[in-house]
Amino acid sequence: MASTDNSDARRVVKRAWQDKGFKSLLLRDPRAALRELDIDVPDNLTVAVYDNTGATHHMVICTPCSCYPSFLGTAPPYWKDPDYKAAIIQDPAAWLQQMGTELGADEALQVVDTDVHRRAFVIPKQPDGEVTDEVVSQVVTATSLVGHTR
């Protein structure tokens, strides 16, 4: 069952931050990695995971149907808003700026558009310092999981 507080997503990201082998599996075979944490992905879905720690900032959108990886928690409150969809399609970089996410001069933006059969999420950049539950709960949010915030 999907969590309304994104706790499953927090478990996934925390494990990826702490365990390089798990992170590698998550990026290579998300279904297998999620299964290790007893998170079920519906059989009719494919899942992709992107890492927002390099020179590319991944931003997930779903223009056809507003799908979100609900097996990880709840979508951002604006996710199904028609004004959001129009704005993000028209200018994704401007949307990021509106969300307070500034890309570095050496950072490329890659928009990942999902659909009813494909879900995607990102591993947010790990903050400096110890990975505590408090840090994870501050960084891993519905918006950071889709790369709209960091």
Domain hosting 22: range is: 7-146
**Degrees to nearest 5, angle at CA 40 with 36 and 41:** 115
Nearest to 73 by CA among 22, 148, 149, 144: 144
Predicted TM-score (pTM) of the model is 0.93
Q: What is the pLDDT of residue 70?
A: 86
- Whether residue 38 lies inside any domain: the answer is yes
- pLDDT tens track for 73-99: 889 999 999 999 999 999 999 999 999
CATH at 126: 3.90.330.10
Low-confidence ranges of the chain (pLDDT < 70): 1-5
Both tokens of 124, joined, read 């947010």
- Whether residue 1 lies inside any domain: the answer is no
- Whether residue 106 lies inside any domain: the answer is yes
- Whether residue 52 lies inside any domain: the answer is yes
Q: What is the pLDDT of residue 4?
A: 52
Q: What is the pLDDT of residue 72?
A: 82
- pLDDT tens track for 26-38: 999 999 999 999 9
Q: What is the pLDDT of residue 6?
A: 86
- Whether residue 2 lies inside any domain: the answer is no
Q: Which long-range contacts (CB under 8 A, 24 or more apart) does 139-143 make?
A: 139/13, 140/6, 140/9, 140/10, 140/13, 140/14, 141/6, 142/6, 142/73, 142/74, 142/75, 142/76, 143/76, 143/99
User: At residue 38, what is the residue type?
Assistant: D
Q: How many domains does the chain have?
A: 1
- Whether residue 104 lies inside any domain: the answer is yes
Q: What is the pLDDT of residue 2?
A: 42
Q: What is the pLDDT of residue 3?
A: 43
